[in-house]
């Protein structure tokens, strides 16, 4: 049987890999434990607003193509919507809906005053020139202009979008409103109102969550072997920060393969190699193994920091780690979580483990609105305070309800949003 969802046969349960259904299952479990009434469930399950826009673009060869873009605002009870924009050929509304709901819960877990949103454009950036990408970004921004703004909806980078994309969005929005409005997006270049520490924030949050979870299970970093899947922004920086804390990083991967060294990898050297060679292939200070085998190797901590649906009901029994810290969004399916619970493997869930990024995005928004920029030390100190508090809040809920950290994170998040909803009342 395949471990890779991409090759699972049609007869296998593809529902397991649908992010929207996965999110709904986690939501329902937590809502049951909270005894949430049906009306409130209906409100919190549904996105507040979904916008589909057609984007006519004059291509480099002179032809005209129409692209489709989405922006879903799941919830804005606690503040403006917050969430990334992705460019990919397989973007679809179900996925964007699920991701926008995840953002509501993530912002609530770390207790920042944002709701959840997410957006995307169906396109293949590998086949587009920089000019075409800029046109798509600017036309998309114009298309969703009416629901965008520092007090309404604040996008950020996601898959295949970056600092440059955010700069174009900020510029397009600013041109429409006739004033420079840096707080309309986060994840900007520092010279355009970005925050110090934002690039490292998600990896730093992973490291901090790992530290708190290690205390919970009574372990110390020394001699703790860590496998990291993915070596991009989250995996690469997360691995480096864990290495600096004294953990032994025994394996790390990229989309082409994994490297492994039981004596521990020299992470600064590995990242330098990656910077120069763009992939891990050819690195000589470690053995090379296929990606599909990596996460099942012997280790104490596993950090999936690449992509979704990696730990599934088909392979969860093969995981050897005692602790999983989810750097990626949705790396573990809801079905796999049940197996991991039975095997008493502690999982720090994505909506807590990778919330360092959105927390510093919040700091970026605050700094833009103040027009006063913090030192990196101040950003990191405040991030640490936010993550440690969130971890402790989730851990207390886990103790109170005798549930996994994942269910506890959902309970905490849903309870906070439901409380605001009850206090505000139903308008109309
Ligand atoms: P990235 O593009 O910088 O890096 C992704 C890494 O994963 C790359 O090293 C790539 O080669 C590798 N990869 C892709 N598919 C793989 C596979 N099947 N096996 C092994 N490696 C594979 O992306 P990122 O920003 O690091 O994001 C990674 C995950 O973290 C995504 O799920 C993203 O949604 C999530 N996340 C990112 C942030 C952030 O601030 N960047 C915040 C929260 C969540």
The residue extents of the domains of the chain are: 48-183, 199-350
User: Mean pLDDT over residues 398-402, rounded?
Assistant: 97
- Cβ contacts of 215 within 8 Å, gap of 6 or more: none
CA of 255 to the centre of ligand 1 (A): 9
Mutate to test the pocket of ligand 1, among 109, 230, 240, 358 (most ligand atoms within 8 A of CB): 230
Residues paired with residue 355 on neighbouring β-strands, in sequence order: none
CA separation for the pair 334, 311 (Å, rounded): 10
Residue whose CA is at the smallest distance from ligand 1 atom 1: 232
pLDDT at residue 232, as a whole number: 94
Element (H, E) at 31: helix 19-33
Give the domain 48-183 fold: Rossmann fold (3.40.50)
pLDDT at residue number 245: 98
Cα separation, 148 vs 51, in Å, equals: 11
pLDDT given for residue 89 in this prediction: 97
Give per-residue pLDDT as tens, 151-187: 999 999 998 999 999 999 999 999 999 999 999 999 9
Counting residues of the chain whose pLDDT is more than 90, the rounded percentage is 92
pLDDT category of residue 52 using cuts at 50, 70 and 90:
very high
- pTM of the predicted structure, to 2 decimals: 0.95
Q: What angle do CA 100, 106, 111 make, to 5 degrees?
A: 130
393 strand-pairing partners: none
pLDDT of amino acid 1 = 32
Residue of the CA atom closest to atom 13 of ligand 1: 255
Q: How far apart are CA 218 and CA 353, in angstroms?
A: 19
Quick check: do 48-183 and 199-350 share a fold?
yes
CATH class of 199-350: alpha beta
* Full 3-state SS string of 302-313: EEECCCCCCECC
Strand stretches in 172-325, DSSP E: 225-229, 248-254, 257-260, 287-289, 301-304, 323-325
- Cβ 83 vs Cβ 161: under 8 Å: no
Interatomic CA distance for residues 162 and 405, integer angstroms: 31
Q: Is 203 in the pocket of ligand 1 (CB under 6 A)?
A: no
Q: What confidence tier does 426 reach under pLDDT thresholds 50, 70, 90?
A: confident
Q: Are 236 and 311 in contact (CB under 8 A)?
A: no
- pLDDT top residue among 16 and 362: 362
Position 428 scores a pLDDT of 78
SS3 128: coil
Give, for ligand 1, the residue of 107, 235, 330 to mutate: max count of ligand atoms closer than 8 Å to Cβ. Answer: 235
Helix (H, G, I), strand (E, B) or coil at 109: helix
Of 14-28, 86-100, 414-428, the range with the lowest mean pLDDT is: 14-28
Average pLDDT over residues 46-50: 96
Mean pLDDT of the region 247-254: 98
Distance 330 CA to ligand 1 centre (A): 11
Q: Convert the pLDDT of each residue in 3-15 to its tens digit.
A: 344 444 443 567 8
């Amino acid at each position: 049987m395949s471990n890779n969802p991409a090759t699972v046969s049609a007869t296998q349960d593809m529902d397991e890999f649908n992010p929207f259904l996965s999110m709904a299952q986690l939501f329902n479990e937590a809502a049951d434990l909270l005894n949430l009434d049906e009306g409130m469930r209906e409100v919190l399950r549904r996105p507040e607003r979904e916008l589909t826009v057609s984007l006519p673009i004059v291509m480099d060869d002179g032809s005209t193509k129409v692209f489709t873009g989405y922006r879903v605002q799941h919830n804005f009870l606690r503040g403006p919507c917050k969430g990334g924009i992705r460019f990919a050929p397989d973007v679809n509304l179900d996925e964007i809906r699920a991701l926008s709901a995840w953002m509501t819960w993530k912002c609530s877990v770390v207790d920042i005053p944002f709701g959840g949103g997410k957006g995307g454009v169906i396109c293949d950036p590998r086949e587009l020139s920089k000019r075409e990408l800029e046109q798509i970004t600017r036309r998309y921004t114009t298309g969703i202009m009416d629901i965008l703004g520092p007090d309404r909806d604040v996008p950020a980078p996601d898959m295949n979008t970056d600092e440059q994309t955010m700069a174009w969005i900020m510029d397009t929005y600013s041109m429409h409103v006739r004033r420079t409005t840096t707080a309309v997006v986060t994840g900007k270049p520092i010279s355009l109102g970005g925050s110090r520490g934002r690039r490292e924030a998600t990896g730093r949050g992973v490291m901090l969550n790992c530290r708190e979870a290690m205390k919970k299970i009574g372990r110390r970093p020394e001699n703790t072997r860590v496998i990291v899947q993915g070596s991009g922004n989250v995996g690469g920086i997360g691995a480096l920060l864990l290495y600096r804390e004294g953990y032994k990083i025994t394996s790390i991967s990229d989309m082409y393969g994994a490297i492994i060294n039981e004596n521990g990898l020299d992470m600064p050297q590995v990242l330098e190699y990656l910077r120069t060679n763009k992939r891990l292939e050819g690195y000589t200070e470690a053995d090379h193994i296929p990606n599909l085998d990596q996460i099942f190797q012997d280790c104490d901590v596993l950090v999936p920091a690449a992509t979704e649906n990696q730990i599934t009901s088909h392979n969860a029994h093969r995981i050897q780690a005692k602790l999983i810290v989810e750097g990626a969004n949705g790396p573990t399916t809801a079905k796999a979580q049940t197996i991991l619970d039975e095997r008493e493997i502690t999982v720090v869930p994505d909506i807590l483990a990778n919330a360092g990024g959105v927390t510093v995005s919040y700091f970026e928004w605050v700094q833009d609105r103040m027009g006063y920029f913090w030192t990196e030390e101040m950003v990191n100190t405040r991030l640490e305070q936010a993550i440690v508090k969130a971890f402790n809040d989730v851990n207390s809920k886990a103790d109170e309800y005798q549930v996994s950290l994942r269910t506890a994170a959902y309970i905490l998040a849903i309870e906070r949003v439901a409380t605001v909803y009850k206090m505000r009342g139903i308008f109309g």
